[in-house]
Amino acid sequence: MTATAINRVTRVLQARLAAVIGTDEVYIGPPVAEDVGTRKLCLFLFHVAANQTMRNEPRYVSPAGDPDGPLVEAEALPLDLRYLLSVFRTAGVGGNGNADPDELVTLGQAVRALHERPFVEDARITVEPYSMEELSRVWGLFPQTSYRTSMVYLVSPVTVEVDPPVTGAPVVRRTDRQGPMQPGPVLP
């Protein structure tokens, strides 16, 4: 994956959820009621960290994108992305704060959609166990917003790579030069 890896993963998750929830029903961003509006689901990337297991492992890619070409070691950083998935729809016009009676059905549809297809490219999507204390800390970032039924998902590893090195043209002719070598400078 390239520098756009985090954005691409987020958009794929949004598309998978929208396919079962509804096209315009998945909001990406912080779970703030005014921003989410009347959408059914909120997907919020709240934590990005280097993958501790893979951060020192080499990653090999084909520099020309040729699957049959030679592999070279690529500079890459594998990341763990944690998303807060919240059922966030209010019933009625204007968001009166009443819970949507079908919010648990919506959550079940979202869980099933992510469980049925648990990969985004090479990254795996898994439910991340979070205690109520940990969830309270996450929701504490939004003091003006009431807690909504939520789950945390881990997508890992999402690899951000440096552009592959540019290789030169292959050697087609070699020229051997003969003759006496000039002595180099004498070092003290």
pLDDT of residue 64: 64
- Average pLDDT of the chain is 85
Residue 32's identity, in one-letter code, is V
Q: What is the model's pLDDT at position 108?
A: 96
**Domains parsed from the chain with CATH numbers:** 5-161 (3.30.2000)
User: Quick one: average pLDDT of 176-187?
Assistant: 70
User: HSE of 72 in the Cβ direction (CA atoms, 13 Å)?
Assistant: 15
Q: For residues 55 and 77, what is the distance between their CA atoms, to the nearest angstrom?
A: 6
Judge whether residue 93 has pLDDT over 60: no
Those residues whose C-beta lies under 8 Å from the C-beta of residue 81, and which sit 6 or more positions away, are 6, 9, 45, 47, 48, 123, 154, 155, 156, 158
Pick 176 or 148 by higher pLDDT. 148
pLDDT range class, residue 61, cuts 50, 70, 90: low
Give residue 110's pLDDT band: very low, low, confident or very high (50, 70, 90): very high
